[in-house]
Amino acid sequence: MSARLLAGCLSGSLLILSPLAQAVPKPTQSDAYTVQTVVTGLAHPWSLAFLPDGRMLVTERPGRLRIIGRDGKPGAPVAGIPTVFASGQGGLLDVALDPQYAQNRLIYLSYAEPGDKGVAGTAVARATLQEAGGHASLQQLKVIFRQQPKVSGDNHFGSRLAFARDGTLFVTLGERKQRDNAQQLGMTLGKVVRIAPDGSVPADNPFKAKSDALPQIWSYGHRNPQGAAINPADGQLWLVDHGARGGDEVNVVQAGRNYGWPVITYGRDYTWLKIGEGTAKPGMEQPRHHWDPSIAPSGMAFYTGQRYPGWKDSLLVGALKDRMLVRLALDGERIVGEERLLTDLEQRVRDVRQGPDGWVYLLTDADPGAVLRVVPR
């Protein structure tokens, strides 16, 4: 059976798929979960990271970083944030804690960085988070990565940060709506890059020895990956990538691989015109799963806790356009089922995180936006 045809059956709200299935019809809505509001009044919150004491760091796209107390009260904006290009999809994006945060208090931010004459590009900075007298600030801020080149426009910045088991940092980068450049190894549009925490290039990066490629590049052929997470089972990087009209993808991202955009895709242009050469081509990777029509996936997380029956080792993905949380059931690296949750929420889900308490937390992309906790009914 074609990889584009469904090959499963509906069992409750979980769709069971064959190993070849890539796209699935909408499963029955699950109504077993609801949400609790942790904090509201945020301006387009984009990313969430938990501090060791259970408080939360939340980025707001206009360019603010806030610490949310355990009581749900947001603090004043953290001082020292770099200047961001706050337009369209641009602004302050992801936040991540250094793996040794308890010792060094380093945090990492990805953001749309302005350039001369209206151009912009995704950048990553790191800084020490300091707190004193009820105030928080970033100290010793250093930009450790800049997307090359900066271009005009305010779409497709990416960008998620994910620390690998070896301490290196993955950064997902959109192609800034310059499709063909996702295939060009002399620039970092439409790429995943891998850098050391100080911004240097790891010795084993796949293109480091190639004179016609940028050494930071880990993989290429991506469109606008706004979700990334390390699979705790094996340490592999997974990401979700926005398609156009259809063609959203879940990929397991490996060194040096070409993920096809815009040469192959399961989607069409917003004009309904065909994009590229088809859905497959030798030398280009197939997604582990795709959505057609598009759900506009954003943040993602692997769930490892015990709070939700049947969720352990699932992949959770937020959806912007379809305003829901998607649970993908896994069998190793195969996606074997899909459950669509909170479809009555009617909120764009920008980020998904598992908290240290085992609950799942969501960010809603709105102004005002909120931090929500998912709980069984």
pLDDT in tens, 28-49: 466 789 999 999 999 999 999 9
Summarised one tens digit per residue, pLDDT across range 247-293 is 999 999 999 999 999 999 999 999 999 999 999 999 999 999 999 99
* Order of strands across the sheet that contains 237-241: 225-230, 237-241, 248-253, 289-291
Q: Calculate the alpha carbon distances from 119 to 39, 185, 216, 217 in Å.
A: 34, 21, 22, 22
Cβ atoms 127, 94 nearer than 8 A: no
Q: In CATH, which superfamily holds the domain spanning 9-376?
A: TolB, C-terminal domain (2.120.10.30)
Summarised one tens digit per residue, pLDDT across range 124-162 is 999 999 999 889 999 999 999 999 999 999 999 999 999
pLDDT at position 11: 32
Catalytic residue among 44, 156, 242, 290: 156
Q: What is the pTM of this model?
A: 0.92
| DSSP 8-state assignment for residue 270 | T
Segments of the chain with pLDDT less than 70: 1-30
pLDDT at position 165: 97
289 is a catalytic site residue? no
pLDDT at position 29: 62
Q: Domain segments of the chain: what residues? A: 9-376
pLDDT at position 14: 42
Reading the block at residue 286, the tokens are 């197939």
DSSP secondary structure of 170-238 = EEE---TT-GGGGG-TTS-TTEEEEE-TTSPPPTT-TTTT-TTS-TTEEEE--S-EEEEEE-TTT--EE
